[in-house]
Each structure stands twice: as C-alpha cells, then as structure tokens.
Structure 1
Amino acid sequence: MIAPLPAAARPLVAFPTLLRGNGFAVAPEQTTAFLMAVELLGPRSIAHVRKAAVATLAPHPEQRDRFDALFDMHFLGAFAEPGEDDWAPDEEMSVQEDSGSREILIAEEINETGQAATGAEALSLRRLRTMDESETLRRFGRALPAALPRRRGYRHRAARRGPTVDLARSLKDAIRHDGEVMSLKKLRRVTRPRPILLLIDVSGSMKQRSDANLALAHAVIQAAPRAEAFTFGTRLTRVTRALRRRRREHALSEASGLVADWDGGTRIGDALLAFLAVPRFAAYARGAVVVVLSDGLERGDPSALVGAVARLAARAHGIHWLTPLASDPGYRPETEALRLIAPRLASLTDGGSTARICRHILSLGGAKAA
C-alpha cells in the first residue's frame, strides 16, 4: 500500500501539475528534484521555495512572468504583477544534481537520448525556423562529398602506377602476347570519404545559432555518404534519422520534436561521456571527422569534459570545435574546460555563421588520405 502524501508536501506536488495545465513542459523527474531542492533549502521563507522552483522546474525566460504569476497565485493566493519579486535567477547558479543513480536513456524510435535528466534541465518543445540560407547550403551540399577528408580503403582498383602488381591482369596480358610479359599491370588502393559526426549545442547560450546549425546538419546528412548528428544541452539526442528526410522543413520539424532540452543548461562533458558509453554511438566516431558546434561554456565539472574529449580524440580522425565566440581574430578560450581541451583539438575556430562553418568543413579535405 502506498503511503499517503504528507500534507506539507501536497502544495509542492500540486504546483508542477498547475504548470503543466498552463502549457509548461515539466517532466516527472523535475517534480522530484523540486521536492528535494525545497528540503535542501529548509525552506526558511517563500523566497527559498521560489528559488527551488526556478532552478529545478526551469521555466523558459520568455515564460518567466507567467511562471511567477502562477507561483504567487498558488503559494500566496493572489496574482502578482510581473516584476514585483526582487529575486531573479542567476544564470551562473550551480544546481545540485539528483543524488540517485544516473542512467542513460535511449529510445530508438522517439527520443534517442544518452543522458538522464538533471536538476538543471529545461524540457520544452520548439518550432525550428528555416533560415534564408538555401543557396549557401545548396552549394555546400554539392561540394561536400568531394571535399571530405579521405581514408585508404581495403579494396584495390586498376591503375597505371602503383605499389602493387595486378597478377591476374598481367597474366591475361601475357597470354595475349604468347606468354611474353610486355608490362606489369598495377593496382592502387581505393580511397573513401571519412564519416562525419556533428555534435550540436542547443543550450540557452547557443539559442541564436541552434536553428541554423540544425539546418546545416540536414545539409550534411543529405550530402555525405556517412554522417551522424547529435544535439546536446543537458541531454544527448540523436537526430540523424529525422534529418534524413529530404525536405528540410519536414526534417527540422521532426527533429524539433525529438529534442527536449532546448535553450536549457549546458553539460558538454556529461553528454560526451554518455555518447561514449553507448557502443553503437561510440562506433560512429571511429576514424570520423568530428565537428562540435558549441561556445564551450561548460557548466559542469571541467574534468568530465577533459576526459571525454581525450577518449573521443583517440577514436576520431580529428575534433574541430567551432564556436561563435571566435569571430574575433584575437579570441582565446575563456572557460577553464575549453582551455584544457584545446591541445587535443584539431582546430578551434569561428562558428558564428553558416557560411564560415561551411567553408571550414570544406577546407578539411586538403590533407592526404591516410
């Protein structure tokens, strides 16, 4: 028999229900995190309850006024005018994560996610805007297959020159010349394009670039022979299947429904560790060109990001980190995490526009196949 809910906890449990009834996306684990945060804070005043609610239920900034009004109505019994509360959430505030076991959530059909929810999540739906960069993406898609870095394959093909003798063709040619070997036919190994792996930051600090970066990922998925795309914020979500739809509008619409952590916090290290923890996902990085579209403003433990990047670099052909903060020629990594991982990156460059990202990706194929 389930024990009845304590009377003191009932208003707290009812508040997330009220938010869901008014259009807020609140996951069940966020309700649990809210109760744990209230217990952690005491609370000694209603302001502590408000802080716990903002930190764990994660209202979108555009919904903050409605969130405060519903909070005041529920806990104070009156509608408050937006702005009356003198407390505002600090964007740099650290939120203690759930002390329970952390699991990797993977759903093959709906939301292939590699990181469990944390107290800092902001779960929401979002309609992606199709950017007016069709011509840039069209040219990029046509040039990409030939511009990707290449690797030597295991197959051989006939060639005029090469290190290997094609014995079968040489013998056939000798038979046509009464057993006289006129020349030795040669073979060379076929090269094939390396796979490309896109890791796209959809946290709040990358909000201005999220739509354009997903449109770019669609162009990559459509053009490259082997490509994978993941988004990360507080979760890791595979969006490759959605972006395989040919029409960009349909692909972005489907991808927007898969991603639940739009414009929330940033846990880059945890997301990469979750990626590497799934063997099928980690295999996508083997020998691949890894392109990370993120500002690198890690909110989690820097050691997690350092360890994840080290493991990812050992598998990949190279990690290319493109950040909109690098538009300044004198840019230097500002966060501790980005400074620590910089030596392991193949490049750290400007990702502030679609045209610059396209140019950088197309420039990666200049190296000799290995």
Structure 2
Amino acid sequence: MPMPRAPALATSLTAASRASDAHGGPPMLARNVVHFVRVLRGAGLPMSGARAAEAIDALAFIDLARRDDVRAALAALLTAAPDERELFDAAFALFWRDPDWEGKLRALLLPKVRGALPPPRRNNRLADALAARAATRANAPHPPPTHEQHELRAHATFSAEERLRQRDFDTLTADEWRTLRHLIRARRLPLATERTRRLKTSSRGTHADLRASARHAVRAGGDWTVWKYRAPVERKLPLVLLLDISGSMSAYSRAVLYFCHALLQSRERLQVFLFGTRLTYATRALRERDPDIALAQLAAQVADWSGGTRIGATLAEFNRRWARRMLGGRATVLMVTDGLDHDATAALDDEMARLHRFAHRVVWLNPLLRYRDFAPKARGVQAMLPHVDAHYPVHNLDCLEALGRSLRETPPRAPHQGATRWS
C-alpha cells in the first residue's frame, strides 16, 4: 500500500486524523504516524510496531493544532536517550512540516555553499532513511517483480558486496564509501573476555553457594531441596587504538574510525587516540550515536589531520601521560600506521620498547602490507617491527573483519619471537 505524502502539521493534521482510506483502511493520521516511525527506524533508532500504536493512542489526547505539544508527545514515546533527540527533531521538522519532503531530502544530500554562514550539520542516517522510503513510494505503483527478477537482483547485490569487501579503501568512490559505512555499522563485533577470580550468582556452575542454599532452605521450611551456585565473572579485555591520521593514511584512518565507532556502540572497552604531529584523545567524540557527526566533530577538533607524522614524539607523550592509566588489565594496543616517520629512529625504537613493556600485546595494522613485495626498508618500519607481537594488513573490509575475529580470542602472551603476519 503506497504511503501518503507527509502533511503540513498545523493545517492538515486535524483533518487527516478524521479522514479514512477510500478502501476502508486506517485513518490518514495513523498511516502517517506509522510512516514516521519507519523513517526513524531506518535512521537507526530502535523502533517497533508497538511504538507506533502507542504514539497513535497518545495523539488522541493531544491538541493536534499545537505543534509543540505533538512534538513533545511523540518525542516522549519514541526516544529513549538524550542523543536520540537531535535525530528525532530533524526527522520531525522534515517530515511533518513541509509536504515537499523529497525536495528537502535532495537539499539534505547535496552540499550547499552559503556566504559567511557555516553549512548545516548533515545527518546521513536520516537522509538514507528518507531515500529508502522515497524509493519505496516511487516503486509502489509498479507490478510486483517475478521470482527470476528477485534472484537476479539478489545475485547482483551479493556480487557487488563481495567486490566491495576486497576493494582497497584508497580506491573507493563516494557511493562505495556510503555502502561501506552501512556494512560496518550493521556488524556488532564483541571483543574477547576472560574469567576473573570474582564470582556471581548463577543458575548452574561448579561453585556451590552454601549461604544462598541455606537461606533458601530456611524459607522452604527446612527442606534442603535446591542448590544455589556461583560462577566466575567474565570481564572484557581493554583495547587501546593508536591511529595515524597523516596524509598517507587518510582513507584507511577513516575506515578504521567507522570500525571503532561500531565497537564503542557495542559497549566495548575501547580507548581511541589519534596521532599525526601530536596526540589527540578521541574516545568521547566517537561515542556520538551518528558516526558521520562523530567524524565531522573529530575533523574540526584535530589540527593535524592529513598532515605530517611524528610517531616517536607522539608515542613518548602517550607513554608519559596515558600508558599507566590505559594499559592495565591485559590491554591490547592496536597501532594503525604505515611506519613512515620523520623523527629520529632511535627515539622511535626506545618508545616502542617502552610501549611493549606496558601493554599485554602490541598489534601493528599496516596498509602497506597490501603489496605482495612489501619489505621493511624504511627506518621507521625497521625500528617498530622488533617490538610488535603481530603485523597485519588493514586495507579493505576483509582485513577489518579478520581483525575483529582475532580480537575475540585471548591468546596467552608467549615469549617474544618477532611479529607474525596474515597472508
């Protein structure tokens, strides 16, 4: 059933609430509320059919001519966190105010240049959700495709995704970057956990909880019929990322930041630092729900983005200010850099050795490993290699997923025998 055009709230919402579909369908207001909830779900907010039903019931008690009351009622029902309110307000203003929301969508997708005013903040999640709904409306009058057409479309989509997974990040187009962001965002990558000495209440286990079992027997009148247990607490291992944002690493740093954003949204113990000619703490900015807004804020805050590289100096600052706080509890350090340093090699060698003593493991992610004939000829690469436990490529989506699989495991720290490498 095609969805109606979004109405102007102040003039036509009251009339729409009384209007019914010509074929006996739901009222126009209910259809538009369901459409609005679908747009929010497509933009990434957790929505369900029950939310739409609750919103329709709540609007029966609201004066629909008062726009602020309608927005407040819908926001109270459809948002659950403060960071969701900004996306909700943008969707509400775009959907319920202007009937020509397709034109608004085009204006949102295309950048505009204005005089002395800063450009408005783009929200790609909302734009993608509205684009999907617009495509659904445009294709609604057409007859349903046949089974053979479905198979052909699925096969083409699968082949395009497979090609994208092996494409180098430095060769992607703007449309491919958009698809890559969705592929990374759709994955939840839990990190490895380890057992601690602490115990928690459990329904089964190897540690009998005598106190809890005795209390239950007293409540049951003295009959010891049920045993209570305690199990070891599983703790997530911390992860610290040191990401090179110099000019030669721009495309790869961008993809790794989207990967880190997905990890932070999964509530992982991840700390992110950016370095070029200086060190920048980036974890707070990446906790923003929308990854595009998070990266835009980082680009505005970091002064040395796409500049030079001073790996030795930035590592010295990290070891002096952050290492003791961040590298406790079997922490793994991920260094994403090509190893092309402009500082003295001796300083880089000393700081890498100090970092290796602090950390449980040091893993180097190097995009130069995409070349089969790669050889450690640069002085920076030669200084870093003796102090890392693993040396992996990071130039496409398959490499990022292989890294995620390796982070789920907790290998014990063996005596240092040089870096290992993925083929």
Shorter-chain TM-score tier: 0.5 to 0.7
Correspondent of 2:255 among 204, 212, 216 = 212
Is residue 401 of structure 2 the alignment partner of residue 358 of structure 1?
A: yes
SS of residue paired to 2:408: helix
Report the Cα distance in structure 1 between the residues aligned to 2:357 and 2:194, rounded to whole angstroms: 16
- Is 2:204 the partner of 1:160? yes
| Alpha-carbon spacing, 1:187–1:250, altered in 2? closer, same or farther (3 Å) | same
Per-residue CA distance 1:110-140 (angstroms, 9 max, x = gap): xxxxxxxxxxxxxxxxxxx893212321233
Q: Using the TM superposition, give the Cα deviation of residue 238 of structure 1 relative to its aligned residue in structure 2, in angstroms.
A: 1.2
In structure 2, what is the equivalent of residue 233 of structure 1? 276
Give me the CA root mean square deviation: 3.0
How far does residue 160 in structure 1 lie from its aligned partner after superposition? 3.0
**Cα-to-partner distance string for 1:6-53 (whole Å, 9 max, x where unaligned):** xxxxxxxxxxxxxxxxxxxxxxxxxxxxxxxxxxxxxxxxxxxxxxxx
1:266 aligns with 2:309: yes
Seq. identity, %: 33
Structure 2 stretches of 5 or more lacking a match?
1-173, 414-423
Q: Does 1:139 align with 2:171?
A: no
Deviations 1:38-73 (A, max 9, x none): xxxxxxxxxxxxxxxxxxxxxxxxxxxxxxxxxxxx
Normalising by structure 2, we get a TM-score of: 0.50
- 3-state SS in 1 of match to 2:319: helix
For 1:315 and 1:195, the matched residues in 2 are separated by 13
- Maintained 8 Å contact 2:252/2:394: no
Q: Distance in 2 between matches of 1:331 and 1:169?
A: 61
Partners of 1:179 and 1:336 in 2: CA distance: 75
Letter of the 1:190 partner, please give it: V
Counterpart CA distance in 1 for 2:356 and 2:195 is: 20
State the structure with bigger RCO (CA 8 A, min sep 6), 1 or 2: 1
Inter-partner Cα distance in structure 1 for 2:352 and 2:325: 15
Conserved? CA contact 1:231–1:237, under 8 Å? yes
Q: TM-score, with normalisation over the residues of structure 1?
A: 0.56
Aligned residue for 2:325?
283
1:196, 1:288 within 8 Å by CA — same for their partners in 2? yes
Whether the aligned pair in 1 keeps the contact of 2:339 and 2:384 (CA below 8 Å) is no
Query: How far did 1:231 drift?
Result: 0.9
Distance 1:153 1:278 in 2: 28
Task: Give the secondary structure class of the aligned counterpart of 1:320.
Answer: strand
How many residues are aligned here?
Answer: 236
Shift of residue 192 of structure 1?
A: 1.8
Tell me how far apart the structure 2 counterparts of residues 159 and 331 of structure 1 sit (CA, whole Å).
53
From 376, 381, 394, the equivalent of 1:338 is 381
Question: Is the 8 Å Cα contact of residues 303 and 337 (structure 1) preserved in structure 2?
Answer: no
Q: Post-superposition shift, 1:262? A: 2.1
Structure 1 unaligned residues grouped into runs of 5+:
1-128
Q: Which residue in the other structure is 1:4 paired with? A: none
The structure with the greater share of residues assigned to helix is 2
Partner of residue 257 from structure 1, selected from 300, 304, 319: 300
Q: Which amino acid aligns with 1:166?
A: D
1:295-310 superposed matches below 5 A: 295-310=338-353
Q: Using a 3 Å threshold, how does the CA distance of structure 1 residues 176 and 224 change in structure 2: closer, same or farther?
A: closer
Q: CA deviation at 1:297?
A: 1.3
Distance 1:307 1:184 in 2: 56
Q: CA deviation at 1:309?
A: 2.3
The aligned amino acid for 2:364 is: W
CA distance in 1, matches of 2:299, 2:307: 14
Letter in 1 for 2:327: A
Hey, what's the Cα distance between the residues in 1 that align with 2:281 and 2:252?
Answer: 18
In 1, Cα distance between equivalents of 2:407 and 2:393? 14
Report the residue type matching 1:283 in the other structure. Answer: R
In structure 2, do the counterparts of structure 1 residues 177 and 362 end up closer, same or farther at CA, with 3 Å as the change threshold? same
CA contact (8 A) 1:151 1:369 kept: no
Deviation at 1:321, TM superposition (A): 0.9
1:144-163 superposed Cα distances (whole Å, 9 cap, x missing partner): 12xx121334531225333x
- What secondary structure, in the 3-state scheme, does the structure 2 residue paired with 1:160 have? coil
In the alignment, the residues of structure 1 paired with residue 376 and residue 205 of structure 2 have an alpha-carbon distance, to the nearest angstrom, of 47
**1:185 Cα shift?**
4.9
Q: How does 1:103-142 map to 2 (within 5 A)?
A: 131-132=177-178, 133-140=180-187, 142=188
Is the Cα contact below 8 Å between 1:239 and 1:258 reproduced in 2? no
Distance 1:169 1:226 in 2: 32
| Structure 2 residue 159 is the aligned partner of structure 1 residue 151 | no
After TM superposition, give the deviation of residue 294 of structure 1 in Å.
0.6
